């Protein structure tokens, strides 16, 4: 007769938890030693932002795809965001400048969820002030609402021009209905062409007047008008387009339209939006 398996004791389970906790801590320290070597190789500590939005978006999506089990994904993502953002800060110290015009609590929650508590947090009265602060910095980031309220003005026009800050990400990287810090925000930094991800490209489009044909032309490009505001007697549009669209293509689509004089400037780009619907999560991953 086969012997009954020895029951697992509470003490055994606690030892296993302690073993796993110690292993995670040692792995974090090992990650730190690799970052120390990375700093020496890249010399980023004195050369500006080490933020790599394309890589981070890819990491977050991979994590969402493989996640399962009892632990809520909200917790997993928040832990990894703190790890990634803190190690990025160790590589090249930076601050996060935040637009408070829509209220302090949601913006502070968003910044702390995505960047942790080690990274300094600097509040500002509006998006324009955030952009100016980033422009004056060595490698800081700025965050402001992707869906601004009325009266925000055409802040995107201040991103136009060589050397000006540019949009490099749209947060959260993994969108879902119950995200604990789900306020949609743009992230701006000084230009990081070598690390930019161009799934979606953003343009500041200025026209003297709106005409029906303009919407049709934008639709033909796969474009979306994200926001609009009056600007110096005309109309300024914040427009997102697929990364494959070039300025030459835009000029071609706009040619012949009765919109008066127009100008267009690329003001940044970000990864395509990734949505994790709760209904699509495996049942065991629900709390």
Domain range annotation of the chain: 43-197+274-280, 201-270
User: CA–CA separation, 174 vs 74, rounded Å?
Assistant: 10
pLDDT score of 215: 85
pLDDT score of 151: 61
What residues does 30 pair with on adjacent strands?
A: none
User: CA–CA separation, 135 vs 137, rounded Å?
Assistant: 6
DSSP letter assigned to residue 265: E
Distances (CA, A) of 5 to 2, 15, 16: 9, 19, 18
- 2 versus 278: which is more confidently predicted? 2
pLDDT tens profile 165-188: 999 999 999 999 889 999 999 999
Q: How confident is the model at residue 287 (pLDDT cuts 50, 70, 90)?
A: very low
pLDDT score of 100: 93
Fold (topology level) of 43-197+274-280: D-Maltodextrin-Binding Protein; domain 2 (3.40.190)
Q: Phi and psi dihedrals of 42, rounded to 5?
A: -90, -20
User: CA–CA separation, 61 vs 272, rounded Å?
Assistant: 11
What residues does 171 pair with on adjacent strands?
A: 185
Distances (CA, A) of 193 to 51, 52, 53, 58: 12, 10, 11, 18
pLDDT tens profile 81-134: 999 999 999 888 999 999 999 888 999 999 999 999 999 999 999 999 999 999
User: CA–CA separation, 121 vs 96, rounded Å?
Assistant: 5
pLDDT score of 284: 39
pLDDT tens profile 45-82: 444 567 889 999 999 999 999 999 999 999 999 999 99
Q: Is the pLDDT score of 206 beyond 90?
A: no
Residues 6+ apart with CB under 8 A from 59: 80, 84
Distances (CA, A) of 98 to 51, 95, 103, 105, 262: 17, 10, 11, 11, 31
Q: What is the mean pLDDT of the chain?
A: 87
- 150 versus 102: which is more confidently predicted? 102
Instruction: Report percent pLDDT > 70 for the chain.
Output: 89
pLDDT score of 282: 41
Q: Report which secondary-structure segment, H or E, holds 212.
A: helix 212-220
Name the E strands within 119-162: 121-124, 141-145
Q: Phi and psi dihedrals of 143, rounded to 5?
A: -130, 135
Q: How confident is the model at residue 18 (pLDDT cuts 50, 70, 90)?
A: very high
The answer to whether the beta carbons of residues 94 and 190 sit under 8 Å apart is: no
Q: How confident is the model at residue 201 (pLDDT cuts 50, 70, 90)?
A: very high
Q: Is the pLDDT score of 279 beyond 60?
A: no
The answer to whether the beta carbons of residues 142 and 133 sit under 8 Å apart is: yes
pLDDT tens profile 25-51: 999 999 999 988 888 887 654 445 678
| 201-270 CATH | 3.30.70.60
The answer to whether the beta carbons of residues 146 and 185 sit under 8 Å apart is: yes
């Amino acid at each position: 007769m086969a012997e009954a398996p020895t029951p697992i004791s509470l003490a055994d389970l606690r030892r296993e938890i302690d073993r796993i906790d110690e292993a995670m801590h040692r792995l974090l320290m090992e990650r730190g030693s690799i970052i120390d070597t990375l700093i020496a190789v890249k010399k980023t500590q004195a050369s500006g932002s080490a933020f790599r939005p394309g890589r981070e978006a890819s990491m977050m999506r991979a994590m969402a795809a493989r996640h399962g089990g009892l632990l809520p994904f909200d917790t997993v993502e928040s832990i990894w965001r703190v790890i990634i953002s803190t190690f990025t800060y160790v590589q090249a110290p930076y601050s996060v400048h935040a637009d408070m015009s829509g209220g302090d609590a949601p913006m502070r929650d968003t910044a702390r969820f995505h960047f942790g508590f080690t990274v300094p947090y600097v509040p500002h009265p509006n998006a324009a002030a955030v952009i100016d602060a980033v422009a004056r910095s060595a490698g800081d980031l700025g965050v402001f609402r992707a869906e601004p309220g009325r009266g925000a003005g055409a802040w995107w026009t201040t991103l136009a021009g060589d050397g000006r800050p540019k949009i490099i990400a749209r947060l959260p990287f993994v969108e879902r209905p119950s995200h604990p810090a789900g306020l949609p925000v743009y992230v701006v930094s000084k230009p990081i062409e070598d690390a930019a991800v161009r799934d979606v490209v953003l343009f500041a489009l200025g026209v003297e007047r709106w005409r029906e044909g303009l919407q049709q032309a934008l639709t033909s490009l796969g474009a979306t008008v994200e926001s609009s505001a009056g600007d110096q007697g005309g109309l300024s549009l914040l427009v997102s387009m697929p990364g494959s669209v070039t300025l030459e293509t835009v000029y071609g689509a706009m040619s012949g339209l009765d919109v008066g004089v127009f100008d267009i400037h690329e003001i940044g780009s970000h990864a395509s939006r990734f949505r994790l619907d709760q209904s699509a999560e495996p049942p065991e991953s629900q709390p």
